[in-house]
């Protein structure tokens, strides 16, 4: 029986999805192999690689079968009694990385040359300590050539710029010229991320490059080339495994090698695009959705019976009200059901972090473990896809700057092994992710001094510990004394701040010097709908997300003070800056607002008071993008359509907090706060 192209494409998509799940299981198993080499773990590892190899052969993904085969052989040795050493786990992890990259390329319609797996195949064969018979069979082509041994391996550089790198003024072509000047002997472009022509954005970069650089080039020179683009690219620099080139004959196809460029039109028609994504949903969620749809149909039928020309007597009005109330409840339940349908456990993102901890701690000669809990907590798929990078930066920062070396920890009376805890849970209408380490904590005095030296705060600023902690998110801020492969350029925490703010979330850092640091991410369950507070300014309606609101107070006539050009209000023991929203948004001229309602909101770790005319209803708000339909408007996060058909703008509390955090404003705020305290005291 011959399958049609659509059926084959569906089966191939399933193969890729199951293969990536198998690679995730294999990676988790390999990380646990050294600590717990149980028969169950080893067996699951073997089955995962065996299934991938079998599926690849069945679907013609031949570029990975050779590598999967030698990995399977090594795992079979371990299953038969060979001790699972750290070296075995490390080379198999490298093999998993190669398999993942090859599958991602093939899923994008761009088969890779099997020769790229030659170094890791040779490494696995060497680690395995093959028998003379297998060694002769595997290395027969090598014996005829006997090349001279390589004393020092060349550098292997993989440079994958982020799509928007050119918007910051960085040109990858300039970097390529610098690499050629350093003596790059070979530069190969990776086109696997290039989309179809009708989806191509000419202002974005979709290419990546792999470069081989002579061993004589200093590592510092390589770092210097890419120093201005760190944070705008994925960069890997390491020594290439010194393996003779003829090893490629072991896995290369008999015919001419397939080109590394994009596949032809036919291949694009039948391949699953790299951007395609699927969502596995439990049958219980689908059943719940069907029940809600059934309730909706019943409600529609109930209201439909009342749609006639008869007069509205009290009984009919009561039935209409009952039907509308039922419709509101069913719609809310239906919306919650759809949100749950799109939700995915955060464990799928958390699963990447043990490998990161394993590799980074070894690179820094530290002993670090990661403990994960709350993996079943669910988040909207869109939110989940965007928190991977922030989590990577936070965990890597904890290992590099937070966790001490084993000797330093022992001297401080701590266990030699550092611990990072990752926990997720639902709190109200948000999901909270906590990342805690037991390292040295933040040096508040040093952070404040660096911020003053760089002009981030006024020279005489006196800030609270929580305000100082927020300074680490400033662009370019770093406490590292030297730039390392892991950190030191001041881009990681800035990436965290920007990414979480784009998701309308919050980031808070707290620390106890000598005992560790806690970073808390608060994220919305979904980006499409929020719980909002409607308010009135003049004749206009606006919305503020409920999550940002702390309280609303009525101002006594003399409660507002104007000192140093700024208005402030004393809320219990805290001085709160007051913002005249009506004047800021152009609803009324400045100085004419006599409103006595002050809404206290929290943005960027600081509280602000917003003057409003009237509080209206609280309701769920469907967010419509202004940037997509009109253009970016500073201070507005979007818009929504109210029940009466009018448009209400959603205020961007983060933008207000960012405005108050500008160095000049912060210096003014410190001076105003001091003057205000003296004024209230007098």
pLDDT tens for each residue of 419-466: 999 999 987 667 899 999 999 998 888 888 888 888 777 888 778 888
**What is the arithmetic mean of pLDDT over 259-283?**
43
Q: Is 39 exposed, middle or buried (0-12, 13-18, 19+ CB in 10 A)?
A: exposed
Q: Which residues pair with 579 in a beta bridge?
A: 610
- Sheet-wide strand order for 430-437: 368-373, 418-427, 430-437, 516-524, 506-512
| pLDDT score at 490 | 47
Going by pLDDT thresholds of 50, 70 and 90, the confidence category of residue 557 is low
Q: What are phi and psi of 193, to 5 degrees?
A: -95, 0
**What is the arithmetic mean of pLDDT over 552-573?**
73
Going by pLDDT thresholds of 50, 70 and 90, the confidence category of residue 480 is low
> For residues 385 and 294, what is the distance between their CA atoms, to the nearest angstrom?
32
Per-residue pLDDT tens for 614-669?
Answer: 888 888 777 777 776 677 677 777 888 887 778 888 888 877 766 665 544 433 44
Q: By three-state DSSP, how is residue 433 classified?
A: strand
The whole model's pTM is what?
A: 0.56
Per-residue pLDDT tens for 385-414?
Answer: 888 888 988 998 899 888 999 999 999 999
Between residues 614 and 131, the one the model is more confident about: 614
Share of the chain above pLDDT 90, in %: 7
Going by pLDDT thresholds of 50, 70 and 90, the confidence category of residue 356 is confident
Place of tokens 């509390």: 653
Going by pLDDT thresholds of 50, 70 and 90, the confidence category of residue 153 is low
Q: By three-state DSSP, how is residue 430 classified?
A: strand
| pLDDT score at 681 | 43
| pLDDT score at 370 | 92
The CA-CA-CA angle for residues 198, 203, 205, to 5°, reads 90
Per-residue pLDDT tens for 157-207?
Answer: 888 898 888 877 778 888 888 888 777 656 777 777 788 777 888 888 888
Q: Which residues pair with 517 in a beta bridge?
A: 437, 511
Between residues 141 and 169, the one the model is more confident about: 169
Share of the chain above pLDDT 70, in %: 78
Going by pLDDT thresholds of 50, 70 and 90, the confidence category of residue 472 is confident
Task: Mean pLDDT check: name the lowest of 407-421, 576-590, 606-620.
Answer: 576-590
> b vs e for 459-485, b when ≥16 Cβ sit within 10 Å of the residue's Cβ?
eebebeeebbbbbbbbeebbeeeebee
**What is the arithmetic mean of pLDDT over 58-76?**
83
Contact criterion met (CB below 8 Å) for 504 and 637: yes
> For residues 182 and 171, what is the distance between their CA atoms, to the nearest angstrom?
17
DSSP state of 481: S
**What is the arithmetic mean of pLDDT over 324-353?**
79
Between residues 376 and 658, the one the model is more confident about: 376
- Mean residue pLDDT across the chain: 75
The CA distances from residue 130 to 70, 73, 87, in Å, are: 11, 10, 15
Task: Mean pLDDT check: name the lowest of 101-115, 215-229, 279-293, 661-675.
Answer: 661-675
DSSP state of 56: H
Q: Which residues pair with 609 in a beta bridge?
A: 578, 600
| pLDDT score at 254 | 34
- C-alpha closest to that of 231 among 488, 437, 470: 488
Residue 284 reports pLDDT greater than 80: no
Strands (E), 218-258: 233-239
> b vs e for 130-149, b when ≥16 Cβ sit within 10 Å of the residue's Cβ?
beeeebeebbeebeeeeeee
Q: Which residues contact 550 (CB under 8 A, 6 or more apart)?
A: 600, 601, 602, 607
Between residues 292 and 29, the one the model is more confident about: 29
Between residues 205 and 488, the one the model is more confident about: 205
Between residues 34 and 157, the one the model is more confident about: 157
Radius of gyration of the chain (CA): 30
Place of tokens 């179809």: 196
Between residues 257 and 347, the one the model is more confident about: 347
- C-alpha closest to that of 424 among 322, 325, 341, 350: 350
Residue 558 reports pLDDT greater than 50: yes
Q: Which residues pair with 436 in a beta bridge?
A: 421, 518
> For residues 456 and 453, what is the distance between their CA atoms, to the nearest angstrom?
8
Going by pLDDT thresholds of 50, 70 and 90, the confidence category of residue 674 is very low
Contact criterion met (CB below 8 Å) for 555 and 562: no
Contact criterion met (CB below 8 Å) for 534 and 616: yes
Strands 574-580 and 606-612: parallel
- Sheet-wide strand order for 647-651: 614-622, 529-537, 540-545, 647-651, 636-641
């Amino acid at each position: 029986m011959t399958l049609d192209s659509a059926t084959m494409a569906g089966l191939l998509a399933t193969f890729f999805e199951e293969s990536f799940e198998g690679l995730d299981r294999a990676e988790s198993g390999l990380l646990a192999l050294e600590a717990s080499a149980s028969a169950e773990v080893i067996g699951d590892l073997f089955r995962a690689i065996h299934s991938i190899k079998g599926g690849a052969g069945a679907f013609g993904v031949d570029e990975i079968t050779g590598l999967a085969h030698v990995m399977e052989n090594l795992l079979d040795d371990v299953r038969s009694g060979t001790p699972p050493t750290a070296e075995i786990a490390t080379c198999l992890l490298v093999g998993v990385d190669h398999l993942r990259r090859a599958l991602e390329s093939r899923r994008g319609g761009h088969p890779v040359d099997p020769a790229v797996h030659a170094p890791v195949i040779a490494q696995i064969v060497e680690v395995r300590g093959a028998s003379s018979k297998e060694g002769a069979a595997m290395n027969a082509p090598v014996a005829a050539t006997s090349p001279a041994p390589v004393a020092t391996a060349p550098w292997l550089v993989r440079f994958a710029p982020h799509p928007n790198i050119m918007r910051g003024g960085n040109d990858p072509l300039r970097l390529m010229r610098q690499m050629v000047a350093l003596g790059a002997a070979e530069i190969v472009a990776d086109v696997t991320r290039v989309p179809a022509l009708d989806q191509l954005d000419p202002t974005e970069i979709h290419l990546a490059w792999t470069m081989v650089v002579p061993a004589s080039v200093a590592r510092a020179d390589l770092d210097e080339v890419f120093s201005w683009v760190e944070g705008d690219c994925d960069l890997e620099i390491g020594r290439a495994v010194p393996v003779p080139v003829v090893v490629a004959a072991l896995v290369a196809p008999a015919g001419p090698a397939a080109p590394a460029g994009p596949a032809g039109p036919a291949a694009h028609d039948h391949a699953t695009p790299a951007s395609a994504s699927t969502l596995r949903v439990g049958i219980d969620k689908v059943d719940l959705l069907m029940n809600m749809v059934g309730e909706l149909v019943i409600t529609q039928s109930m209201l439909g019976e009342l749609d006639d020309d008869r007069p509205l007597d009290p009984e009919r009005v009561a039935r209409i009200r009952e039907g509308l109330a039922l419709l509101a409840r069913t719609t809310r339940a239906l919306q919650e059901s759809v949100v749950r349908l799109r939700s995915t456990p955060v464990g799928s993102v958390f699963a990447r972090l043990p490998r990161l901890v394993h590799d980074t701690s070894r690179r820094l000669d530290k002993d670090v473990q990661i403990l994960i809990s709350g993996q079943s907590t669910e988040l909207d798929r869109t939110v989940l896809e965007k928190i991977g990078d922030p989590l990577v930066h936070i965990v890597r920062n904890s290992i590099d700057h937070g966790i001490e070396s084993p000797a330093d920890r022992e001297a401080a009376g701590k266990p030699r092994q550092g611990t990072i805890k990752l926990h997720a849970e639902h709190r109200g209408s948000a999901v909270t992710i906590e990342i805690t380490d037991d390292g040295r904590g933040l040096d508040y005095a040093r952070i404040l001094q660096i911020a003053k030296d760089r002009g981030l705060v006024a020279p005489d600023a006196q800030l609270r510990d929580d305000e100082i902690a927020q300074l680490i998110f400033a662009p370019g801020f770093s406490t590292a004394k030297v730039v390392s492969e892991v950190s030191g350029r001041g881009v990681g925490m800035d990436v965290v701040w920007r990414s979480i703010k784009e998701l309308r979330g919050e980031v808070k850092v707290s620390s106890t010097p000598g005992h560790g640091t806690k970073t808390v991410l608060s994220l919305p369950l979904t980006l499409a709908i929020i719980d909002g507070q409607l308010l009135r300014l003049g004749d206009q309606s606006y919305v503020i997300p409920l999550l940002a609101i702390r309280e609303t107070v009525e101002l006594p006539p003399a409660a507002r003070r104007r000192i140093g050009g700024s208005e402030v209000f004393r809320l219990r023991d805290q001085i709160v800056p007051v913002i005249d929203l009506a004047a800021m948004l152009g609803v009324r001229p400045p100085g004419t607002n006599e409103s006595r309602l002050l809404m206290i909101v929290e943005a960027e770790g600081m509280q602000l008071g917003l003057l409003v005319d009237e509080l209206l209803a609280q309701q769920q708000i469907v967010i419509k993008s202004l940037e997509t339909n009109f253009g970016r408007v500073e201070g507005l996060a979007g818009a929504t359509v109210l029940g009466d058909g009018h448009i209400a703008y959603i205020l961007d509390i983060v933008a207000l907090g960012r405005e108050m955090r500008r160095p000049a404003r912060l210096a003014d705020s410190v001076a105003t706060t001091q003057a205000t305290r003296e004024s209230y005291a007098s």
